[in-house]
Structure 1
Amino acid sequence: MEFVEGMWISTRARTWLDMARLLPLEDMVAMADHLVRLPRPELEGREDAYSTVEELRGMIARHPNLQGVVRARQALELVRVGSDSAPETFLRLAMLDAGLPTPELQLPLRPGDPRSPSADLGFRQRRTAIQYDGGHHLLEAQRLSDRRRDKAFEAAGWTVIVVDKTDQKDGFAAAIKKIKRAMRNPVADASVTSGFAKEG
């Protein structure tokens, strides 16, 4: 509990644990992913995550008999820092259910370069970038930015797969087929793609 402006309120971590008796597993994972994600200070006005995996684990440990605690433990095993939205979390979970390996999150094309475009999810060794484009990606300025992002990855020899809310209707089944197909494709020689990356 926290005392805020004269009132006792539940912490975010405790609220997450309390919701375990009501929410399905994937929603618990998405909620925790949101709590532990690292914010963008210039956009969100904060520098710290709302919580940490360690804090959520500690909350579970302090309430071992709470209704829903088993589901909370299961969810915590699937939580990853880097999901910027619930649909990104749902896509990642669908990929795992389909037998795909755990993707990297917020994967930069050029590691160490703060100006590098990044993929929401992806596999560097397979040069596969997966972007989840939400509603704001329909705005013209964002669409132009997204196209530059995708072209940079493509010029470096990556396969870019764009997923949106219409893909959720079938549980991302069609998107996962595309991802699996991309993962089976042979990877181009690194010396060739690195040259493209530098030019981009």
Structure 2
Amino acid sequence: MESLEQIVEFRSSPELVEKLYQYSVIKHYEAGSVILNENASIRSIPIVTSGMIKVIRTEQDGREILLYYIKAGESCIMSFLGGLHNDTSKVKAEVEEEAEILFLPVDKIALLIKEYPQWLDYIFRLYHMRFEELLNIVNAIAFKKVDERLLALLRKKAELTQSRTIFITHEQLANELGTARVVVSRLLKQLEESQVVQLGRNKIMLV
């Protein structure tokens, strides 16, 4: 668990941490749970204290693409922006690993910004981090081949989970990359033949 006191911007303000715990509701979710759907009203902002969430964009034809992960100590900047402007969600948030999440009501966001500069620093850091991640996504789609993006995604998952064994289906990988399952299966087979990965049932091990 990532206690809020450990977040860099909050260390100098125990009062802010106290307010966040006071205003928020804590909930636990299993992997695969969807905590926010596209076009849904944003009533609260999630702050992850353990586990991990993935943020996905879905097109009208049903295709999906992974935008970024939200790890312990982080929040969703898209929810911040939507909540501040009374807008609906433009993304889907799904639990990647069993998670504990604090939900801060949107009406408290502006209040905390006025009272605690550390809260605004936290929002700006998240905004900067997500902006860079989205630029990387655009760069990868525009300039990298699917096999490069696939291997980069596998390495990212291994880094986040601190394990070389990744439990995921070819369909899930295809959804996160915004491509077809048959393409992912073919590329994974090529990576296995090159001894970059070992394939198992619903799992992939980086060699």
Return the TM-score normalized by structure 1.
0.28
Between Structure 1 and Structure 2, which shows a larger proportion of strand residues?
2
Return the TM-score normalized by structure 2.
0.27
Between Structure 1 and Structure 2, which shows a larger proportion of helix residues?
1
Structure having greater relative contact order (Cα 8 Å, sep ≥ 6): 2
